[in-house]
């Protein structure tokens, strides 16, 4: 009987351990004083949160992703949708629908993830301003092992955005977002294309420096990997819009 009980205990430990590493929980928290409509694009068939939903000030929502999930989250602002989920957003719009089936229209801040597989599989994550910026955003690992560092952009880049990169909110007349230089000028040196398509030939620019100085741990241009990609194993993640500055 003792051996049978021990076997049951070992089986229980194995099952619970497997469950613990079988899924990753993302908690999306809105700390902004206005509603955010998170957009979600999955890189495989596992769509999270139906692709998008409203998140009122102070609200949060948990989403569970399976092993191997990859995708991105981004904030949409100034949205208006009817009962059918059709409408538009001032920033981050994804085809005029509440439940995104494609990516958001730049400029928008991005949180990007590739969830690991297996007990020791690493997750890769980053906050990217390569496509521009619209809202402060942070990623905080919860639990897990490895480096597991905070990633994000907690500065108001709109406040320091150069005039030529600004997107204005037609309703309020304020800066709603800050375009990337690539989107603004569509030239190879800013887009890392053509003769500038390698890490050796595409360097930071005075425009990417605006983003990097404001948000040192976020991607500021395509080859900004060294200081902008983070790893953690077996963690859940808190993704905060308008995180508290520390």
CATH code of the domain covering residue 142 = 2.60.110.10
SS3 33: coil
Whether the ω angle into residue 107 lies within 30 degrees of 0, i.e. cis, is yes
101-126 mean pLDDT: 91
Do the domain assignments include residue 19? no
Question: How far is Cα 8 from Cα 195, in angstroms, rounded to an integer?
Answer: 63
Is 72 part of a structural domain of the chain?
yes
Number of structural domains in the chain: 1
In a domain, 143, yes or no: yes
Residue 129 lies in a domain: yes
Taking only the tens place, the pLDDT of each residue in 169-213 is 988 999 999 999 999 999 999 999 999 999 999 999 999 999 999
Contact between 89 and 69 under an 8 Å Cβ cutoff? The reply is no
41-45, 62-66, 68-72, 185-189: which range is least confident on average? 41-45
Spatial separation of the C-alpha atoms in residues 197 and 242, rounded to whole Å: 33
Domain assignment present for 41: yes
Domain for residue 222, yes or no?
Answer: yes
Domain interval for residue 41: 24-245
Note the pTM of the prediction, 2 decimals: 0.88
In a domain, 93, yes or no: yes
Q: How many helices and strands (H and E) does the chain possess?
A: 4, 14
Within a domain: 17: no
């Amino acid at each position: 009987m003792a051996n049978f009980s021990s076997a049951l205990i070992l089986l229980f430990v194995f099952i619970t351990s497997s469950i613990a590493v079988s899924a990753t929980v993302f908690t999306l928290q809105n700390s902004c004083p206005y509603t955010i409509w998170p957009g979600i694009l999955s890189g495989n068939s596992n769509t999270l949160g139906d692709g998008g939903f409203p998140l009122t000030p102070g609200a949060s929502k948990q989403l569970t992703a399976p092993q191997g999930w990859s995708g991105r989250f981004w904030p949409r602002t100034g949205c208006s949708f009817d009962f059918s989920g059709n409408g538009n957003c001032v920033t981050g719009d994804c085809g005029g629908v509440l439940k995104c089936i494609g990516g958001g229209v730049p400029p928008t801040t991005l949180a990007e993830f590739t969830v690991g597989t297996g007990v020791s599989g690493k997750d890769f994550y980053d906050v990217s301003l390569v496509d521009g910026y619209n809202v402060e955003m942070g990623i905080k690992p919860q639990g897990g092992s490895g480096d597991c560092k905070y990633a994000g952009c907690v500065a108001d880049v709109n406040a320091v955005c150069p005039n030529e990169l600004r997107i204005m909110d037609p309703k309020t007349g304020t800066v709603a977002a800050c375009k990337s230089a690539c989107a603004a000028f569509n030239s190879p040196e800013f887009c890392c294309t053509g003769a500038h398509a390698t890490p050796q030939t595409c360097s930071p620019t005075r425009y990417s420096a605006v983003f990097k100085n404001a948000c040192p741990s976020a991607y500021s241009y395509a080859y900004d990997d060294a200081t902008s990609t983070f790893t953690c194993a077996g963690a859940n993640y808190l993704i905060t819009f308008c995180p508290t500055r520390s």
